[in-house]
Amino acid sequence: MRATIRGARALVTGAGRGLGQVFSETLVARGAATVYGAARDPSQITTSGVTAVRLDITDPAQVAAAAKRCSDVDLLINNAGIMHFTPLLSAPDTEAAEDEMRTNYFGTLAMCRAFAPVLGANGGGSLVNILSVVSWFAMPLNSSYGASKSAEWALTNAARIELRQQATLVVGVFASFIDTPMARNVDLPKVSPQSVVDQTLDAIEAGREEVLTDERTRFIKAALPNDLSVIYPAQQDLWDATHPHAPS
């Protein structure tokens, strides 16, 4: 299953800034026939050639309204997400974890369910979920986000199976930190949003189901068979350095 970006009718969630904005701009530049940019505040959508759509993916009524309004879509890019940088057990409560799961997993699930029949009616098209390298391992200082992305990864794999018969290409995009406002306070190497977007759109046109956008992501994926010995010792050191045990 392959698709062409030129002439596509696309919807990008979380399009008001960061990666979603770059997706919208690049889709226009690459000749998409229609680009809907969705955001909780549609006034954030300022890119020329992009039609603003009010959408909070955690609001079932707004998701249903978007599917009705954007019924011509043959490319859905599920980019909207949140990250709170919280651990799971040491956080003061589960509010952040619940919020991330509500948006990153259940919100994306709602979008997939609402737009699967739209894509099917329009010839199959493509469904893209923006995932994360922490879909595959627990980064303790950010583990609640990772749990939500692990769930979204499982969703992506299940959607691929369920939608193959209607000829929908389901693409999982994995990245380490991306140089966007979400990661502004992270002092680690970052991949450019333009690189992520270009690799993703190229994958759609090539019919590829997985995009590993940067060196760290490729390293982690390759290390998964030996994750307990290759990945987690460094994560344990990081946790111990930032959460020292009290003297006994």
Place of tokens 């997985």: 210
Location of structure tokens 């009010």? 54
- Residue 127, strand partner residues: 76, 170
| Alpha-carbon separation of residue 203 from 105, 148, 172, 196 (angstroms) | 23, 24, 10, 11
**H or E stretch covering 154:** helix 143-163
DSSP type of residue 126: E
Pairwise CA distance, residues 128 & 37, whole Å: 15
Report the catalytic residues: 145
